[in-house]
Amino acid sequence: MGVTATKSLTMPEDTSSGKSSWLQRLRAELGHAFTVERGTEDELTEEELETLEKLAERVVKMNMAVPAIMFLESVRPLNYLGSQVMLFFRPLLGIASETVSLATAPLLGFSVDVKFYNRLQEVLEKRASVEALIVRIERKLEDTTPGGCLDSPEESRK
């Protein structure tokens, strides 16, 4: 099975007629490999949506909504890769959670919640998670802004 897959990508001996077909096959295969599908919120379970809701609440509470939205929009195609990086750092988080005790967490300003981290890593594997998180951050930002919504430049000039 692996031999035939390798054979199909190797360059044929006769490069005069087979070169264009080989390049077309390569482009088609690589084009499919790097496509980015947009998922829908229907793919996410209630527990996953609750996890995103908690994260959005924390981001808005820390006044980091705008930078978070900008960051999420810029790395949207890399959400699966980001979840795999989180998976890579999971053992270090386990060590950190043991060293950060309940007594030192108020002094540091954060606590390490391994269960939430693991749930978030699993949620970020799905394409729809980034868009759902952005929507929740924007919704919470509108709820916390005085007047219920952000003022547009035209309204502020009046």
pLDDT at 6: 45
CA proximity to 49, closest of 109, 145, 135: 135
Question: Rounded to whole angstroms, what are the CA distances from 7 to 13, 14, 21, 22, 107?
Answer: 12, 15, 14, 11, 60
Mean pLDDT of all residues in 4-11: 47
What are 15-65's pLDDT values in tens digits? Answer: 555 567 888 888 777 765 555 566 677 788 999 999 999 999 999 999 999
pTM: 0.62
Separation between Cα atoms, residue 27 and residue 34, nearest integer Å:
11
pLDDT at 82 over 80: yes
What are 143-154's pLDDT values in tens digits? Answer: 887 765 555 444
What are 102-149's pLDDT values in tens digits? Answer: 556 555 555 667 888 889 999 988 888 999 999 999 999 998 877 655
| Residue 78 DSSP one-character state | G
Contact 43, 128 (CB under 8 A): yes
Contact 128, 136 (CB under 8 A): no
